[in-house]
Amino acid sequence: MPARKALIGLVSQLFSRVGAADDLARGRSTFMVEMVETAAILNQADDRALVILDEIGRGTATYDGLSIAWATLEHLHDTNRCRALFATHYHEMTALAGKLDGVENATVAVKEWEGDVIFLHEVHKGAADRSYGVQVAKLAGLPHAVVERARIVLDALEKGEREGGTGKKALIDDLPLFAASPAPAPKPAPNAASAAEEKLAGIHPDELTPKEALNLIYELKALSAPD
């Protein structure tokens, strides 16, 4: 549900860097487009501007992206000194709220239920405790085997992080091959056809007159009604 009201105040300029797209005509990758647009914002925004940045650094390697996002936020805070909304999945950046006076963390509430996630669309103060990428992939319809394989790789990577990162490559190398991952979830057995479905199966729509079609609707409605 959208906010009923918002107090923003006067702004001299409004900048946004949202979305991802290549600029094939100019030979620019998604990351180059992102950097060009971010550079324009950092070079032009004054202290009365409002800046909206979404997932800065996502178009390149993880540590490169995190470094650029971190430095960009520091520059907005220290040099541009403007109001900004900075969305990111780099959890490490939440530490900046404790280092920079003008930075606060906010997160969108999520509820887990039987292995799935429910997005509550509520903004709360504080940082998210984790990401839900694998669950979102499942909601999007990725094959069951891919989702389960992703969980295995994620667990190995997180274990490597907890152990100081020294064993990450070994952990990944030790993972079973993709073919050894759990088989796709069995499809549920089809339910027996209802009376209405059996009636529909024997109908040829092009052969019905308008009156017959209307009568058929009443018939199907009666067959679908609960006993």
| β pairing state of 50-54 and 106-113 | unpaired
- Write down the pLDDT at residue 181: 46
Q: List, in order of start, the domains of the chain with CATH numbers.
A: 9-103 (3.40.50.300)
Where is pLDDT greater, at 40 or 194? Answer: 40
Where residue 76 falls among pLDDT bands split at 50, 70, 90? very high
What proportion of the chain, given as a percentage, has pLDDT over 70? Answer: 81
Q: How far is CA 100 from the centre of its chain?
A: 27
Q: CA 67 to CA 54: how far, in whole Å? A: 15
Which one, of 37, 77, 28, 79, lies nearest residue 56 by Cα? 37
* pLDDT tens profile 5-36: 888 889 999 999 987 676 776 777 888 989 99
Distance CA 226, CA 96 (A): 59
Q: What was the pLDDT predicted at 5?
A: 86
117/52 Cα distance (integer angstroms): 26
Q: Residue 47 pLDDT more than 90?
A: yes
pTM above 0.85, yes or no: no
Confidence tier at 2 by pLDDT (50, 70, 90)? confident
Radius of gyration, alpha carbons of the chain: 26
Q: What mean pLDDT comes out for the span 86-113?
A: 92
Q: What's the start-to-end Cα distance of the chain, in Å?
A: 38
Percent helix, strand and coil across the chain, each rounded to 5? 45, 15, 40
Residues 6+ apart with CB under 8 A from 106: 123, 124, 125, 126
